[in-house]
Amino acid sequence: MTRYQRSSQIWSLLICAARERKSFTYGEVADILGFGGAGTMAQLLGPIMWFCEDNDYPPLTVLAVNAGTEMPGSGLSTLEEVNVDREDVFAFDWFELEPPQCETFRNSDRG
């Protein structure tokens, strides 16, 4: 499976989390995807982060957090203020959007 296919899977997880006003730790996402650890999350979250920025959507990746700090990683350059961004993500109607395709994530990727 390509990283963009994995990004599509994570997109689905995160929009469900937004609807439920919750977040996932990197480890929880890794477990759901069947990974041995959370070390590869940045390369999978990056295309989602850039896609949201390209389309002026709230930063959905704010809902993927470090287990210890309960905050997104510092590499998420699209965040302004985490608590405000999180509320914007919760308030946004993600299910109104057509789900992005793998190619969409590939085109948005800056990694």
How confident is the model over 9-22, as pLDDT tens digits? 999 999 999 999 99
Beta-bridge mates of residue 25: 65
In this prediction, residue 77 carries a pLDDT of 67
3-state secondary structure of 64: strand
Which residue segments constitute the domains of the chain, with CATH numbers given?
3-94 (1.10.10)
Single pTM value for the model = 0.91
pLDDT averaged over every residue in the chain:
91
How confident is the model over 31-71, as pLDDT tens digits? 999 887 667 788 899 999 999 999 999 999 999 998 998 88
Q: How far is CA 18 from CA 1, 59, 64, 88, 106, in A?
A: 25, 11, 11, 10, 23
Three-point CA angle 101, 104, 107, nearest 5°: 155
Query: Please, which residues have CB within 8 angstroms of residue 66's CB and are 6 or more apart in sequence?
Result: 25, 26, 72, 73
